[in-house]
């Protein structure tokens, strides 16, 4: 009970991760890197407390995160960086909107969204 009231604490800074829009765990879930069954037990972190991943979020609504050292995206292959930025930013934008969509958590991941779009197109294209 107390755990629910407290919400989930960030394993890096110790502060509460107030909602999923700032959750590194849920971002990775939307990216398809974490399975739904691990959401309740996996360690929670703020997006900003995982800068190596957060540096790939490129959006006017997200203050850029810089990483110093070997994981700095500026030291990595530009094509790979561009690919990760596109996918991570897409996932971040989805994370900002999913709760207002009123969809089940199982439909949060990007791959589910793409599959749903394809299904919809097939319906539209069928005579």
Q: Which residues bind Zn ion (CB under 5 A)?
A: 10, 12-13, 46, 49
Which pair of structure tokens corresponds to residue 62? 């997200």
- Indicate the DSSP class of residue 46: B
Q: Least CB distance from residue 124 to Zn ion, whole Å?
A: 43
**Which residue, among 123, 97, 124, 125, has the nearest Cα to 110 in the 3D structure?**
97
Alpha helix segments (H runs only) across 1-127: 2-6, 24-30, 51-54, 78-101, 110-125
Q: Least CB distance from residue 26 to Zn ion, whole Å?
A: 14
Q: Considering beta carbons, is residue 12 or 81 the nearer one to Zn ion? A: 12
Which pair of structure tokens corresponds to residue 82? 């561009």
CB-closest chain residue to Zn ion: 10
Q: Considering beta carbons, is residue 20 or 49 the nearer one to Zn ion? A: 49
Q: Least CB distance from residue 54 to Zn ion, whole Å?
A: 11
Q: Considering beta carbons, is residue 48 or 112 the nearer one to Zn ion? A: 48
Q: Least CB distance from residue 5 to Zn ion, whole Å?
A: 19
Q: Considering beta carbons, is residue 24 or 109 the nearer one to Zn ion? A: 24
Separation CA 28–CA 17 (nearest Å): 15
């Amino acid at each position: 009970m107390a755990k629910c009231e407290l919400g989930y604490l960030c394993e890096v800074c110790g502060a509460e991760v107030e909602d999923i829009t700032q959750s590194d765990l849920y971002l990775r879930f939307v990216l398809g890197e974490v399975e739904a069954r691990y959401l309740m037990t996996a360690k929670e972190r703020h997006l900003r407390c995982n800068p190596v991943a957060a540096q790939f979020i490129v959006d006017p609504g997200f203050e850029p995160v810089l990483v110093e050292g070997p994981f700095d995206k500026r030291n990595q292959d530009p094509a790979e960086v561009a690919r990760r930025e596109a996918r991570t930013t897409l996932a971040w934008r989805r994370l900002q909107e999913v709760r207002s969509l009123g969809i089940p958590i199982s439909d949060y991941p990007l791959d589910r969204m793409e599959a749903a779009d394809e299904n919809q197109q097939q319906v539209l294209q069928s005579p």
